[in-house]
């Protein structure tokens, strides 16, 4: 079950991310107003924003070609898993970079970095991507888009919310929003829900959910120097224990 996302929720996130301690009363009121507007982004607005943000990230990244070892391996990893969630077709690509990361956006855009694939087995990559798909399926990525837009609005980086405004974003505005979406900070409850989604998905498709545990254990051992995923996904060791407890309980 997804968490209800209200304008007050967005406002709190925007004020925290905008450095509210340094803003005057009028600025705080404006931030709250911007956040309330951002919470009113329609599904169509979120889809447009996600499509444009994903395209922006693709344009500045080195994508593994279809005939590459990475792309072929990813195709094999995703066999048997959903091809769409919530009506959005899932689109997978590999970014060739030593960084260890994976992310998804509300339009079904899912990206995994070759650094993560080098670190993990096929089963572990599948488990991580199941987690990212969970963020899409449970509506977390939509909420992340609303928060990102609210932050940009509070900073005066974008104007009033609406389809025309989303379509009219400049390259620099879009780059900033795309970066925020890639590095979205999900709550502990959202992370746990996405973990459970991946666990249930793997189990329903006949894959071993133990791979979710070992993927977290590997992430927990990273020093953080080249891991973007560690900055936005907290407490890997605790999450590994939660999934192991589920495996042990048979639930």
Residues labelled as active-site residues: 132
- Please tell me the number of Cα atoms within 13 Å of 220 on its side-chain side: 13
User: Angle at CA 183, nearest 5°, toward 235 and 30?
Assistant: 115
- With a CB cutoff of 8 Å and minimum separation 6, the contacts of 168 are none
- Please tell me the number of Cα atoms within 13 Å of 124 on its side-chain side: 16
User: Angle at CA 245, nearest 5°, toward 239 and 250?
Assistant: 130
Task: Give the DSSP H or E segment for 2.
Answer: none
Burial 225-238 (b: 16+ CB within 10 A, else e): eebbbbeebeebee
| Cα R_g (the chain), whole angstroms | 18
């Amino acid at each position: 079950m997804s968490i209800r996302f209200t304008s007050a929720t967005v406002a709190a996130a925007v004020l925290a991310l905008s450095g509210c301690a340094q803003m005057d009363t009028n600025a705080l009121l404006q931030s709250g107003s911007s956040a309330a507007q951002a919470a009113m982004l329609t599904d169509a607005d979120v889809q447009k924003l996600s499509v444009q943000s994903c395209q922006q990230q693709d344009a500045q990244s080195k994508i593994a070609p279809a005939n590459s070892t990475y792309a072929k391996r990813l195709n094999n990893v995703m066999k048997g898993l959903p091809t769409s969630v919530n009506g959005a077709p899932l689109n997978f690509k590999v970014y060739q970079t030593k960084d260890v990361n994976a992310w998804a956006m509300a339009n079904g855009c899912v990206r995994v970095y070759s650094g993560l694939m080098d670190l993990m087995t096929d089963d572990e990559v599948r488990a991580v991507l199941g987690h990212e798909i969970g963020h899409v399926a449970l509506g977390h990525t939509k909420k992340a888009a609303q928060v990102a837009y609210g932050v940009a609005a509070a900073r005066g980086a974008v104007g009033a919310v609406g389809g025309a405004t989303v379509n009219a974003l400049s390259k620099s505005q879009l780059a900033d929003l795309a970066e925020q979406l890639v590095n979205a900070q999900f709550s502990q409850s959202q992370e746990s829900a996405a973990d459970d989604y991946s666990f249930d998905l793997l189990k329903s498709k006949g894959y071993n959910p133990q791979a979710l545990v070992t993927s977290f254990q590997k992430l927990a051992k990273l020093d953080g120097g080249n891991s973007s995923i560690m900055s936005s996904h907290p407490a890997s060791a605790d999450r590994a224990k939660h999934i192991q407890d589920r495996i042990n309980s048979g639930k």
